[in-house]
């Protein structure tokens, strides 16, 4: 099985973090992985996306022009990447920030109120983990337990106090799907 995923949002929404986390979890499960970040010219608040590929076989190239899945955290990301998702693929939409409907009926659109759930958990910055949990439930590429086990390896040590909240955010997203 091979999955090509694009995760996109604006800088500060943690799309790079969930991309690295998914890639690390894939490595822990002995899969082939690639993670390729792409930043806009600004730092915080600018555009950011990354491409993650997780596969049982060698990965010939780390880019994807037509991903199996797009996880979009904001409207500009949805506008850019929703048209590129493969037929029968998945589009995970942060419905807390995106109200615009996608004009496609050939993909599986999953709306997740990620920011709302993150606010309920007490920190809007875990909206990315809500989205990743939903993705893991929708596409069986790595286990939720492996992703949780990978948090200590991917998050900086100064953020380890937030691991329980990140785990809860992953669970909430997972249980929505």
- Token pair recorded at residue 153: 């390896």
Q: Output the average pLDDT for the chain.
A: 94
Average pLDDT score over residue span 76-94: 97
Nearby residues of 133 by Cβ (< 8 Å), 6 or more positions away = 144, 147, 169, 170, 171, 172, 173, 174, 175, 176
Dihedrals φ, ψ of 162, to 5°?
-95, 0
- Token pair recorded at residue 91: 């589009």
Q: Distance of alpha carbon 72 from its chain centroid, rounded?
A: 8
Average pLDDT score over residue span 83-94: 98
Give me the pLDDT at residue 109, please. Answer: 98
Q: Distance of alpha carbon 177 from its chain centroid, rounded?
A: 14
Domains and CATH numbers, the chain: 2-176 (3.40.920.10)
H/E run at residue 155 = none
pLDDT, tens digit (0-9, with 9 covering 90-100), for 8-47: 999 889 999 999 999 999 999 999 999 999 876 655 556 7
Give me the pLDDT at residue 43, please. Answer: 55
Average pLDDT score over residue span 80-103: 97
Assess whether pLDDT exceeds 90 at residue 63: no
Given a contact cutoff of 8 angstroms between Cβ atoms, the answer to whether 67 and 4 are in contact is yes
Give me the pLDDT at residue 46, please. Answer: 66
């Amino acid at each position: 099985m091979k999955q090509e995923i694009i995760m996109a949002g604006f800088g500060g929404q943690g799309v790079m973090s969930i991309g690295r986390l998914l890639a690390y979890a894939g490595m822990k499960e002995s899969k082939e992985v690639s993670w390729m970040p792409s930043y806009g010219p600004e730092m915080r608040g600018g555009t950011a996306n990354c491409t993650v590929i997780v596969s049982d076989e060698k990965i010939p190239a780390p880019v994807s022009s037509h991903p199996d899945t797009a996880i979009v955290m904001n409207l500009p990301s949805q506008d850019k990447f929703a048209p590129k998702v493969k037929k029968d693929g998945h589009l995970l939409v942060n419905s807390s920030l995106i109200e615009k409907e996608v004009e496609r009926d050939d993909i599986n659109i999953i709306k997740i109120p990620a920011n709302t759930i993150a606010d309920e958990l007490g920190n809007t910055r875990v909206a990315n983990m809500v989205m990743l949990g939903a993705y893991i439930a929708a596409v069986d590429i790595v286990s939720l337990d492996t992703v949780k086990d990978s948090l200590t390896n991917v998050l900086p040590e100064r953020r380890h106090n937030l691991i329980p909240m990140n785990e809860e955010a992953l669970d909430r997203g997972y249980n929505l799907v």
